[in-house]
Amino acid sequence: MASVELKGLGKRYGATVAVDNVSLRIEHGQLVCLLGPSGCGKTTTLRLIAGFMEPSAGEIVVGGKSLSTVKRTVPPEGRNMSMIFQSYALWPHMTVAENVAYGLRIRKMDAATIAAKLKAILSTTRLEALAERYPGELSGGQQQRVSLARALVVEPETLLLDEPLSNLDTNLREEMRFEIRRLHDQYRYTTVYVTHDQAEAMTTADLIAVMNKGRIEQLGTPQDIYDRPRSAFVARFIGGSNILGGKAVDGERIAVGGATLRTTGRPLTVGETVAVSIRQHDIELLTAAPVGGDNVLHATVRRGVFLGAARDYTVMLDDKSELRATVSADLDVTVGQDVWLRLPAAKCRALMEGPEA
Amino acid sequence: MTLRRPDLSQPLMLLVAALLVLMIVLPMGWLVVYSFSDKAGNPTLENFVRLFTDPDFLDPLITTLIIAFSTSAACCVVAAPLGWLVARTDMPLARTFRVLVMASLVTPPFVGAIAWEMLAAPNSGLLNQLWRAVTGAPSDEALFDIYTLTGLIFTIACYTFPYVFILVANSLDRMPGELEDASSMLGAGTWTTARRITIPLAMPTLLAGALIAFLQALNTFGSPAILAIPAGFHTLTTKIWSLFEFPPKVELAAASSLPLLVLTIVLLRVQLLVLGRRGYAVLGGKYGAPRLIRLGKWRIPVATAAMLVLSLPLFLPYAALLNTAFSPVSSQLVTPATFTLRNFYFTFTELSSTMPALKNTLILAALSATLGGLLALLISYIVARQAIRGWKVLGFLATAPLAIPGIVLGVGLFLAYTRPPLTLYGTIWILLIAFITIELPAAYQQFRSAFHAVHPELEEAGRMLGATRLRTLWDITGPLLRASVVATWCFVFVGVIRELSAAVILFTSETKVVAVLIFDLKESGDVGAIAVLSLTIVAITTVVIVIASRLSIGRDAVRLRTIAGG
């Protein structure tokens, strides 16, 4: 059993803090995505786990053994982990077969075992026909599969992936997402997957840790993160969300744009400034003022874009703030027209911090 | 299209082609013709029969090959570990070390050879005197004798190993660190990774470096002329030079030049093949910087050893040169009491040939840098944008001189231009042609890579807005290339100042350059003046290089990089 545990992990470069007090427990066989924009500290966290860097604070424990502390770091070669690099890092002077078998040779296995394992993994990753080619003669997707095969064949306790799909074109990227998930389900290694692409994280991960400024902003299942963002950063980063700012008038309602909105997510304190997120496609657009009903805001259409399957409207509220709403393609409204927005209370998430966070 | 200007590209192409023919094709053509002719001009193979049977020619040929092989091996043995230390370990002073290696690279090899004479001549050599003083050995015993084959190989290697070092270090710098990281992740320790990944990947570069060292040693003239002739033997280059002594035997000189030419061409092809296979630069993706190997308690000893190696091409020779320049007697160490500026006074006021030589050198260097730079710029633009038909031929001709050793070019130009219709021998122009030809490939390649970095779309955007091709070149490409232009100009300037092997064939008393003057002063034994002039060359070179790096590397290079990257 190899769970991976990060305890108060930190990495500083002089005055810059790359990773700040990150704590995370990854159970055996789980696939966790570290998701965030570039510079959020996700790759540094991964390289700390790999042992390429020493932490400046905290500890990394894998399978009950402490691998990294401020004082002592087990080198990468002593960790029984595998890593898939953004550049694939295939050795250009070795064939596909030599690349894949390298880790087995390092482990001093006998020739028969190596041949058997090699054959099995090349067949799993559909690379048998390419075994004698050099990396320079392969397409991007094939190189990616070689790097997967090379990492998996040594049966690591832990698998690390660093933006593995960012060098592939869109179609191939979608295919490889499912491929990675399929291979994970087959082998069930404890896996840490770094990406800045939320769709990639959604399709592959058991758990997503959204990172920002060196910290984990929110940890949860893909659905958790999507449906119940806790901060404005997470709400904006995962799917398109509108963020509305208002003042709490009671335990669950805020005043915004001359109306009141009922929210969910957390109890409010009267008078506090609250940021509320609502997804673009959760907003209902009405061309006539509804009779009664809660959570309705008046607005004017500023811009409409026909997207084929839907229409995307930018509207301005009475307090001059702008919202975007994605609605049915049948609903055609001209610019300048008055509209009414219905924001379902269950979809209005009150976030943890102020509107600008 | 109402205002269509006349198309100048075709005449321009012809002009450039004609120039290249005059510079390269004609001299090499005459070289071949002469080598197959007897004195009367009748076709014969007699020259080659003599070349490969007469010990007068066969011995230099064999000596040259021995020197080339030994130099190449010595350079690899020294340069490869040093390159690795500097690029891949946390050795202290690594940056300083690189700068110092560059400094030994800009030292003209014949200056180094002269300095090593001062250090290790059997009797007067400073190191030998020191050894006798320490051990009490009798005055006819010497620890080192620089006038030997070993001494010559050592001296050539001193000024050749920087090429190998720079190649290896650069290749290790560019080698993606992730290739080694991937090996570590799979359980390989530091040494296994070095053996299985790093060294195999660096091997092609090392081989290419070995070939370059081989070629340098094969074609060098200065060091053997200074060290081998007093020792009583010849290399092929000094043999060729000696054939120009009265009465000149130009047919034999031409025939002796051909093996150098052919061998150089063949080895350059081999080098291309070696570097072309399994290139790792082709694999895409973003790569991180390599992790440095920790030397731990070996840091200080290793850095000290590296600096000791540098004392051979750098610290010791310069100490000897400075000593000679400021001392009344070169074989004695200068003291505050004997310190004198007499040598400087003598060189710059009494020695009548100094000022004309200095003037010739600077004029030739500036002209070669300006005209050669323009020619290279023009050709590289035509090739980079495939502007006119026949661009491939131009590109080939511009790189061809790379395969022509300096002394061979000297012989070819001599043969081609001592005759009508273009009797250039005896004028400064024949030297100008020689220098431009020698420097053209480097300048051309510099501009080629610069054009590579300026995306054609930047020019196309200008032309879409109504600018002509020349206008975009002036407004857009030119400013972006400024760093490269400055760097190339300085590069050629420095190259010309230190050139000896072609000049020594082509000079006359009216057209002496400083390098030739130093070589001449050897005969009269004016070591003080030699030291002063050598230091002058090095000083000019250093100033130009410092100015170049201040002007170009600092600002423009960064700008160009952001544009190329973004």
Give the E-state strand segments of B120-261 in sequence order: none
Q: What is the mean pLDDT of chain B?
A: 86
User: B78 versus B384: which is more confidently predicted?
Assistant: B78
Residues B443 and B400 grouped into a single domain: yes
Q: B35-38: long-range contacts (C-beta < 8 A, 24 or more apart)? A: B35/B251, B35/B254, B35/B255, B35/B257, B35/B258, B37/B251, B38/B251
Q: Is B90 on the interface with A (CB under 8 A)?
A: no
The answer to whether residue A355 is domain-embedded is: no
- Rounded Cα gap, residues B183 and A260, in angstroms: 60
Q: Which of A102-111, A217-226, B522-531, B546-555 has the lowest mean pLDDT?
A: B546-555
Last residue of a domain, one of A208, A227, A246: A227
Q: Which residues pair with B76 in a beta bridge?
A: none
The answer to whether residue A12 is domain-embedded is: yes
Give pLDDT, residue A353: 63
Q: A231 near A349, Cβ under 8 Å? A: no
Confidence of residue B289 (pLDDT cuts 50, 70, 90): low
pLDDT at B269 over 70: yes
How near does any CA of chain B get to the CA of A82, in Å? 6
Whole-angstrom Cα Rg for chain A: 25
Number of domains in chain A: 2
Residues A141 and A256 grouped into a single domain: no
pLDDT at A301 over 90: yes
- Rounded Cα gap, residues B75 and B153, in angstroms: 10
The answer to whether residue B319 is domain-embedded is: yes
Residues B372 and B481 grouped into a single domain: yes
pLDDT at A272 over 90: no
List the strands of the sheet with A259-262, edge to edge: A259-262, A253-256, A241-248, A273-279, A349-350
Residues A85 and A144 grouped into a single domain: yes
pLDDT at B551 over 90: no
Give pLDDT, residue B281: 43
Give pLDDT, residue B157: 96
Residue type, A166: S
Burial class (CB in 10 A: 0-12, 13-18, 19+), A342: middle
Residue whose entry in the numeric block shows the structure tokens 């959604």: A202
Residues B366 and B440 grouped into a single domain: yes
CATH, residue A258? 2.40.50.140
Residues B415 and B403 grouped into a single domain: yes
- A86 vs B contacts (CB less than 8 Å): 178, 285-286
Q: Of B514, B511, B490, B521, nearest to B500 (Cα)?
A: B514
Q: B362 near B432, Cβ under 8 Å? A: no
Q: What is the mean pLDDT of residues A344-349?
A: 88
The 10s digit of each residue's pLDDT in B171-228 is: 888 888 888 889 999 988 888 888 898 888 888 889 888 999 999 999 999 999 999 9
Q: Which of A339-353, B64-78, B287-301 has the lowest mean pLDDT?
A: B287-301
The answer to whether residue A357 is domain-embedded is: no
Backbone phi, psi, residue A322, to 5°: -105, 145
Closest Cβ opposite residue B176 in set A52, A82, A87: A87
User: From A80, which residue of chain B is nearest by alpha-carbon distance?
Assistant: B187
Residues A267 and A191 grouped into a single domain: no
Residues A110 and A254 grouped into a single domain: no
Q: What is the mean pLDDT of residues B137-141?
A: 84
User: Terminal CA-to-CA distance of chain B, rounded, Å?
Assistant: 34
- Rounded Cα gap, residues A243 and A232, in angstroms: 7
Per DSSP, helices labelled H in chain A are: 42-50, 96-106, 111-124, 140-152, 170-187, 198-204, 222-227, 232-237
Confidence of residue B106 (pLDDT cuts 50, 70, 90): confident
Residues A261 and A296 grouped into a single domain: yes
pLDDT at A261 over 80: yes
Inter-chain CB proximity B188 and A80 less than 8 Å: no
Q: Is A135 on the interface with B (CB under 8 A)?
A: yes
- A143 vs B contacts (CB less than 8 Å): 283
Confidence of residue A87 (pLDDT cuts 50, 70, 90): confident
User: A171 versus A327: which is more confidently predicted?
Assistant: A327
Q: What is the mean pLDDT of residues A268-280?
A: 88
How near does any CA of chain A get to the CA of B288, in Å? 9
- DSSP assignment of A8-53 equals EEEEEETTEEEEEEEEEEE-TT-EEEEE--TTSSHHHHHHHHHTSS
Residues A264 and A152 grouped into a single domain: no
Last residue of a domain, one of A204, A227, A250: A227
Inter-chain CB proximity B285 and A106 less than 8 Å: no
CATH, residue B249? 1.10.3720.10
Residues B421 and B321 grouped into a single domain: no
The answer to whether residue B294 is domain-embedded is: no
Q: What is the mean pLDDT of residues B470-493?
A: 82
3-class secondary structure per residue, B21-38: HHHHHHHHHHHHHHHCEC
Specify whether the backbone of A354 is left (phi greater than 0), alpha (psi in -120 to 50) or beta. beta
Most B CBs within 10 A among A47, A85, A134, A139, hence the mutation to make, goes to: A85
Q: What is the mean pLDDT of residues B12-19?
A: 84
- Rounded Cα gap, residues B77 and B194, in angstroms: 17
- Rounded Cα gap, residues B376 and B19, in angstroms: 12
Number of domains in chain B: 2
Give pLDDT, residue A232: 87
Which domain does A292 fall in, by range? Answer: 232-350
Residues across chain B: 566
CA dihedral for B365, B370, B375, B376, sign (positive or negative): positive
Residues B321 and B345 grouped into a single domain: no
Inter-chain CB proximity B187 and A134 less than 8 Å: no
Confidence of residue B422 (pLDDT cuts 50, 70, 90): confident
User: A27 versus B283: which is more confidently predicted?
Assistant: A27
Give pLDDT, residue A281: 87
User: A58 versus B8: which is more confidently predicted?
Assistant: A58
Give pLDDT, residue B445: 87
- Residue B120, both tokens: 């290790």
Which domain does B457 fall in, by range? Answer: 341-566
Per DSSP, helices labelled H in A125-238 are: 140-152, 170-187, 198-204, 222-227, 232-237
The answer to whether residue B126 is domain-embedded is: yes
- Rounded Cα gap, residues B102 and B241, in angstroms: 29
Q: What is the mean pLDDT of residues A345-355?
A: 77
- Rounded Cα gap, residues B145 and B147, in angstroms: 5
Give pLDDT, residue B420: 78
B240-255 CB burial, b ≥16 within 10 A, e <16: bbebbeeeeebbbbbb
Angle between helices A111-124 and A140-152 (to 10 degrees): 140
Give pLDDT, residue B1: 42
Backbone phi, psi, residue B43, to 5°: -65, 140
Interface size A-B, in CB pairs within 8 Å, comes to 92
Residues B374 and B522 grouped into a single domain: yes
Give pLDDT, residue B171: 84
Q: What is the mean pLDDT of residues B90-111?
A: 90
CA dihedral for B405, B406, B408, B412, sign (positive or negative): positive
Q: What is the mean pLDDT of residues B524-538?
A: 91
CATH, residue A189? 3.40.50.300
Give pLDDT, residue B399: 87
Q: Is B188 on the interface with A (CB under 8 A)?
A: yes
The percent of residues above 90 in pLDDT, for chain B, comes to: 42
pLDDT at B416 over 70: yes
Give pLDDT, residue B566: 28
Last residue of a domain, one of A167, A197, A227: A227
Confidence of residue B77 (pLDDT cuts 50, 70, 90): very high
User: B9 versus B519: which is more confidently predicted?
Assistant: B519
Closest Cβ opposite residue A93 in set B182, B185, B201: B201
Q: What is the mean pLDDT of chain A?
A: 89
Q: What is the mean pLDDT of residues B291-296?
A: 81
Residues B546 and B474 grouped into a single domain: yes
The answer to whether residue B288 is domain-embedded is: no
Confidence of residue B6 (pLDDT cuts 50, 70, 90): low
Residues B131 and B260 grouped into a single domain: yes
The 10s digit of each residue's pLDDT in B510-519 is: 899 999 999 9
Backbone phi, psi, residue A179, to 5°: -60, -45
Q: Are strands A31-35 and A190-195 parallel, antiparallel or unpaired?
A: parallel
The 10s digit of each residue's pLDDT in B335-356 is: 888 888 889 999 899 888 999 9
pLDDT at B556 over 50: no
- Residue B463, both tokens: 């032309």
pLDDT at B284 over 70: no
Residues B413 and B323 grouped into a single domain: no
Closest Cβ opposite residue B184 in set A76, A93, A160: A76
